[in-house]
Structure 1
Amino acid sequence: MGTATKAKPNQIKEIKNKQAGKVKFKGNQTQLKYSLTAISKIEQTGINVAKMDTSELTVTDILTMLWAGLLWKYPDLTVDEVGDQYDMTEIVEIATAVSEAFNASVKK
């Protein structure tokens, strides 16, 4: 009999959250990523991420954070280009993806 290989905690988290923080953008599932540059761009719009309460985010806040999370893959993207890809029926899904990806970037 072979021995079972135990998964490390990080591997379990990675498998469990394989789709966490992803949105469909321009026809592709894209992982949102929040580097220091992305966070700085969010803050330049007036959102203080250190004091942010996710229960009080506006549509503009969510859109801004979505845009910033896509910049690593689409560096010339504008907020309007991102906003034009979605409508209000997708806001909960987008807010969830933004929250998951942002939280993962600050809790390592």
Structure 2
Amino acid sequence: MNRMNRLKNKLNKEAFTLIEMLLVLLIISLLLILIIPNIAKQSSHIQNTGCDAQLKMIDSQIEAYSLKFNKKPNSIDDLITEGYIKENQKQCKSGATITINNGEAVAN
């Protein structure tokens, strides 16, 4: 019987209580609640920054086109036809469509 009591005491000392487990879950939940909105905000910022970078890249391709043909392209399709950009590069990841307005790339 003495052996059984020692085994019970040993098991009780090593286990977590329900209260401890609930506290850990509460802390994890609070951290997730605080972190998830910040991640969503950063995602839209990253997409906007990526679109700005894509516009600059297309502006440089417009300049390359202008140097070769001595005129600005009429539309973004001229850049695609001549191989300066790919078809999937005329849209930003945010969904904005890139067009050429007065010789510059613009996201709409």
Which structure carries more relative contact order (alpha carbon 8 Å, separation 6+)? 1
**Larger helix share, 1 or 2:** 2
Query: If the length of structure 1 is used for normalisation, what is the TM-score?
Result: 0.26
Query: If the length of structure 2 is used for normalisation, what is the TM-score?
Result: 0.26
